[in-house]
């Protein structure tokens, strides 16, 4: 079921892929941090050119620590998606393919039939686009 909202539109072709660089598998030591699965996944992105409009951004912990490696897709006006279960050595192409589909989707919702299997299985959460009401910043919660 898609609950996309046709009134929510993001800029086509511009998006960010957040990569948790602190993710580690159970058998991985805390140090050195560069050896963690998340850090290695992020390093793998630096070895290949990113698709146009896709930014790869390192972050420390997306609070999905039990499903390393964790990433998120985000863009202005779009749903944000959080995914887990990626492998540092084998996931860059999959993530780039998903990122391109996300960038092409006006609301960030990749149609289920075209969504890569890893994104179907690995989805952890999706968060609706931020909508600020006029004056919301001044109102008391």
As a whole number of angstroms, the distance between CA 80 and CA 99 comes to 12
* CB contact at 8 A, 68 and 83: no
Confirm or reject binding of residue 38 to ligand FES (CB under 6 A): yes
Among residues 17, 56, 62, 92, the one that binds ligand FES under rule CB under 6 A: 62
The two structure tokens encoding residue 90: 């084998």
Report the DSSP pairing between strands 80-83 and 71-74: antiparallel
Cα maximum dimension of the chain: 49
Confirm or reject binding of residue 91 to ligand FES (CB under 6 A): no
Minimum distance from CB of 64 to ligand FES (Å)? 4
| Cβ closest to ligand FES, residue 32 vs residue 135 | 32
> Going residue by residue from 18 to 37, which x/- string records binding to ligand FES, judged by CB under 6 A?
--x-xx--------------
By the criterion CB under 6 A, which residues form the site for ligand FES? 20, 22-23, 38, 61-65, 68, 70
């Amino acid at each position: 079921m898609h609950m996309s909202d046709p009134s929510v539109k993001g800029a086509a072709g511009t998006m960010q892929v957040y990569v948790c660089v602190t993710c580690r598998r159970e058998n991985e030591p805390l140090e050195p941090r560069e050896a963690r699965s998340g850090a290695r996944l992020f390093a793998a992105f630096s070895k290949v050119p990113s698709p146009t409009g896709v930014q790869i951004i390192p972050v420390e912990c997306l609070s999905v620590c039990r499903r390393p490696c964790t990433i998120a897709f985000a863009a202005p006006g779009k749903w944000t998606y959080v995914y887990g279960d990626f492998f540092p050595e084998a996931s860059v192409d999959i993530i780039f393919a998903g990122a391109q589909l996300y960038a092409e989707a006006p609301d960030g919702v990749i149609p289920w039939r075209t969504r890569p299997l890893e994104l179907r299985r690995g989805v952890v959460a999706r968060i609706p686009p931020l909508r600020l009401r006029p004056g919301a910043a001044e109102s008391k919660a």
